[in-house]
Amino acid sequence: MKGSLEGKEIILGVSGSIAAYKAVEILRELTGRGAAVTVVMTEGAQRFVAPLTFETLSRRPVLTDLFTLDYDKHIGHVATGERANLLVVAPATANTIAKFAHGLADDFLSNLYLSSPCPVLLAPAMDREMYAHSAVQENLTHLKARGVHVLEPEYGELASGLIGRGRLPELSTILQKIDDLLRHQGDLTGETVLVTAGPTQELLDPVRYISNRSTGKMGFALAQAAQDRGAHVTLVSGPTSLPTPPGIMRTDVTTAEEMYQAVLDRLDTTTILIMAAAVADYRPSSSASQKMKKQETLTVEFVRNPDILAEAGRHKGSRILVGFAAETEDLLENAREKLRKKHLDLIVANDIRVGFGGETTRVTILDRHGGVQELPERSKREVAHQILDRVVALRSGERA
Ligand code: C5P
């Protein structure tokens, strides 16, 4: 990881929580990776940790006073914000979150938030009851809708002695997120990405359905990764238990026909369609309106579902289309055939004997030019970024 943040300007905002001491570690890690970091402290933060600690480690003045001019005689908070690639606030207290949500500007950090055009990441830390309070949750919802990235606090022992959700996320989680936000900074800005995820359920009667074992994890990881890279992301999801990634518009559907409609309704405004959903190929030809009674035998007739991706391929335009091919045999041949038939730009072939339902997956990415990239087994988050790297490469190839 050494040098991975070389050339990046980061503002580290520290607000007044006992977790402020952990910001010292964050600063050390960031500078260790080559980033140039400017620390901004609220008054509350200075009660927990002395600015000198941050000043020594960042080798820069710590910004605390709103009424100072920067060295180049710009107004301090404006100049600092303009230079930055990322504003990270860790820990972010309920008070700081509320100020950001409502546009209050009464100290350096809150002014900086309003004047910084760069992406913003918040790592909240507070007591369990405070974090759960609807005032804090509503403020976070506002901020996420505005595109602010928010990490979920962790569960565990809190300063109050209580156990609950409110601990500052682990250092590794914060650094991972910073890396994700900076490494590919904004390379999908301006794109409208539609990701489908999860299984579909095809109803037999009001309580029974036919489905598959897809969990939606790959699609959700793709949605999150695309959003981290600056895209406007919509997720059309079949039934899953996964939480919606912050800042992403989500539409829930149950059947393949509903997914078909949801995707087609949004196709005109979509510039990149990623069909990670495991769409059922068939549905029962009729679904009973009442719960079916037991019989000795049951015969169900199935009819074909519409192929969403093939339909999108027929109206491709300049849209990038990415499909998945889950196979148990002849993986690459089948994937290549689907890529061609459905007019795709990329197809992600996965041997479902490895990836189904788990946190990791092993895939091979095939592209429309005949390129084949075999990836080792990796987390779905990492695989999502590799897929998006290929999407970005295709886009820049088109522009060249
Ligand atoms: O042909 P096959 O179903 O294996 O193709 C898989 C790809 O096509 C996946 O990306 C899947 O999301 C998409 N698909 C679809 N509509 C269907 C079936 C599959 O969009 N009815």
Concatenated DSSP letters of 138-191: HHHHHHHHTT-EEPPPEEEE-TTS-EEEEEPPPHHHHHHHHHHHHHTTTTTTT-
Contact 364, 374 (CB under 8 A): yes
**What does the buried/exposed string (b/e) look like for 87-102 if buried means 16 or more CB atoms within 10 Å of the residue's CB?**
bbbbbbbbbbbbbbbe
Rounded CA-CA distance 246/121 in Å is 11
Q: Is 67 helix (H, G, I), strand (E, B) or coil?
A: coil
Using CA atoms, how far residue 137 sits from 92, 247, 287, 332, in Å, is 13, 14, 40, 46
The class level of CATH for 192-399 reads alpha beta
Q: Which residues line ligand 1 (CB under 6 A)?
A: 256, 275, 277, 279, 281, 305, 307-309, 323-325, 338
Taking the centre of ligand 1 as the mean of its atom positions, its distance from the CA of residue 255, in whole angstroms, is 13
Say what the pLDDT of residue 252 is.
Answer: 98
Taking the centre of ligand 1 as the mean of its atom positions, its distance from the CA of residue 152, in whole angstroms, is 33
- Nearest ligand 1 atom to the CA of 281 is 21
What are the tens digits of pLDDT across the range 261-297? 999 999 999 999 999 999 999 999 999 999 999 999 9
Say what the pLDDT of residue 130 is.
Answer: 96
**Residue 118: count of CB within 10 angstroms of its CB:** 18
Print pLDDT tens along the chain (400 aa): 778 899 999 999 999 999 999 999 999 999 999 999 999 999 999 999 999 999 999 999 999 987 764 544 455 566 677 789 999 999 999 999 999 999 999 999 999 999 888 999 999 999 999 999 999 999 999 998 888 999 999 999 888 888 999 999 999 999 999 998 998 878 999 999 999 999 999 999 999 999 999 999 999 999 999 999 999 999 999 999 999 987 799 999 999 999 999 999 999 999 999 999 999 999 999 999 999 999 999 999 999 999 999 999 999 999 999 999 998 889 899 999 999 999 999 999 997 776 577 889 999 999 999 999 999 999 999 999 999 999 999 998 876 5
The CATH classification number of 9-183 equals: 3.40.50.1950
Q: DSSP for 105-152, please give it.
A: --SHHHHHHHH--S-EEEEE---HHHHHSHHHHHHHHHHHHTT-EEPP
Pairing type for strands 154-157 and 120-124 reads unpaired
The preferred substitution site among 309, 315, 329 for testing ligand 1, maximizing ligand atoms within 8 Å of CB, is 309
The preferred substitution site among 279, 305, 336, 339 for testing ligand 1, maximizing ligand atoms within 8 Å of CB, is 279
Task: State percent of the chain over pLDDT 90.
Answer: 82
Instruction: Note if 305 is an active site residue.
Output: no
Rounded CA-CA distance 8/84 in Å is 8
Rounded CA-CA distance 182/201 in Å is 38
H helices of the chain, in order, are 20-32, 43-48, 51-58, 76-83, 94-102, 108-115, 128-132, 134-145, 171-183, 217-228, 256-267, 308-314, 331-341, 352-355, 380-399
Model pTM score: 0.85
| Tokens matching residue 280 | 């059922």
- Nearest ligand 1 atom to the CA of 263 is 20
The preferred substitution site among 202, 257, 308, 333 for testing ligand 1, maximizing ligand atoms within 8 Å of CB, is 308
Taking the centre of ligand 1 as the mean of its atom positions, its distance from the CA of residue 376, in whole angstroms, is 24
Pairing type for strands 192-197 and 232-237 reads parallel
Q: Which of 286, 119, 137 is nearest to 188 (CA)?
A: 119
Angle between helices 217-228 and 171-183 (to 10 degrees): 60
Catalytic residue chosen out of the listed positions 85, 139, 212, 305: 212
Q: Give the amino acid at 29.
A: E
Rounded CA-CA distance 287/308 in Å is 21
Contact 273, 314 (CB under 8 A): no
Say what the pLDDT of residue 312 is.
Answer: 97
Rounded CA-CA distance 214/200 in Å is 9
Q: Which of 166, 113, 159 is nearest to 136 (CA)?
A: 166
Pairing type for strands 120-124 and 86-92 reads parallel
Rounded CA-CA distance 388/345 in Å is 12
| Tokens matching residue 177 | 């997120």
Q: Give the amino acid at 179.
A: D
- The structural domains of the chain, with segments of one domain joined by +, span 9-183, 192-399
Taking the centre of ligand 1 as the mean of its atom positions, its distance from the CA of residue 277, in whole angstroms, is 7
Q: Which of 136, 159, 140 is nearest to 21 (CA)?
A: 159
Contact 216, 198 (CB under 8 A): yes
Say what the pLDDT of residue 355 is.
Answer: 59
